[in-house]
Amino acid sequence: MADRLTGKSAIVFGAGSSGPGWGNGKAAAVAFAREGARVACVDLAAAAAAETAAIIHDEGNQAIALSADVTNLASVEVAAAAAMEAFGAIDILHNNVGVTHMGGPVELDEDEFQASLDLNIGPVYRTAKAVLPHMLKGGGGAIVNISSLAAIRYVGYPYFAYYATKAAVNQATVALAMQYARQGIRANCIMPGLIDTPMIYKQISGQYGSADEMVAARNAMVPMGKMGTAWDVAAAAVFLASDEARFITGVCLPVDGGQSCAVSELR
C-alpha cells in the first residue's frame, strides 16, 4: 500500500536525526509522505528538518521544514500555525522528541531531571495544546506519541528520569484518547524496545566498552535476536495514524521484538 494517508497533513516533531542514518522521527516523516501525507518536518536543528524535507521532496512528495523548540510553547505554536498555513489542516500529530540521562535519583542532578521532564513529557502537553484546537476545528485527527518500553519495564539501564517520564507519556496519551474520543480524535503511543538508531550511539554507548559491544549486547536482549530499526517504529506509526486504525485509541503498542513478554537478567 502507498496511499493510506492520501489527503492528510501531518506534523512531526523531532523529524530530524541526531546523527547519520535514520532516527525514529526522520523515518516516520518519510513513511507518512510515502503513504500520501503532506508533512511538516519540525526539529530544533533547522538543518536536520531540512534534510528530512529534502528526502521527501526528492521522492516526489510534499513537505515543509520548520524549526521549533518543544520546550517552548510559543515556538511550538508558531510551528503549528506554519503547518496550518501551508496545508490548511493538521490531521496527524506525531511526537518523537526525547532524551535519556543516566543515573538514579542519587546520581542525577536536578537540571538533568528537569530536562527529562521538559523533553520527554513536556512536548506531549505543548504540542497537544498547540495542535488540538486545529484538529477540533477540522473534525478530528490522530495523535501518535513515541514512548518507550522503559515506560512499563526495567530494561537494564540506570535512567530513573527516563522510566518516569516515559510512563507519563503513556498515561498522558490515554488521557488524551479518553477526553477527545467523542470529538473524532484518536491518541495512541508506540513503545519502541531496543532500536538501532543514531541516538543510541550518543546517549547509550557510554554504558559499554565499545559501540560493537553495545550492539551485540542489545541484540542479545531481544527475543527475536536483533534490534529493530527506525522503519519498524515508522510502520507502526503509519498504521496508527491511518484510517485502518480508526477503532483504535488509547493503546500503548510495544514495538520490541517480543522483549516486553520476556524475562531477562539485570545488567
Q: So which residues are the catalytic ones? A: 162
| Angstrom distance (rounded) from CA 18 to CA 50 | 13
| Angstrom distance (rounded) from CA 66 to CA 69 | 10
Q: What are phi and psi of 103, to 5 degrees?
A: 125, 150
Tell me the three cell numbers of residue 89. 489542516
- Percent helix, strand, coil in the chain, to 5, is 50, 15, 35
* 240-266 core/surface letters (b: 16 or more CB in 10 A; e: else): bbbeebeeebbbbbbbbbebeeeeeee
How many other CB atoms sit within 10 Å of the CB of residue 219?
15
| Residues with Cβ within 8 Å of residue 121, at least 6 apart in sequence | 165, 168, 169, 172
With CA atoms as reference, report the closest residue to 8 among 44, 27, 32.
32
- The residue ranges of DSSP E strands in 132-251, in sequence order, are 141-146, 185-192
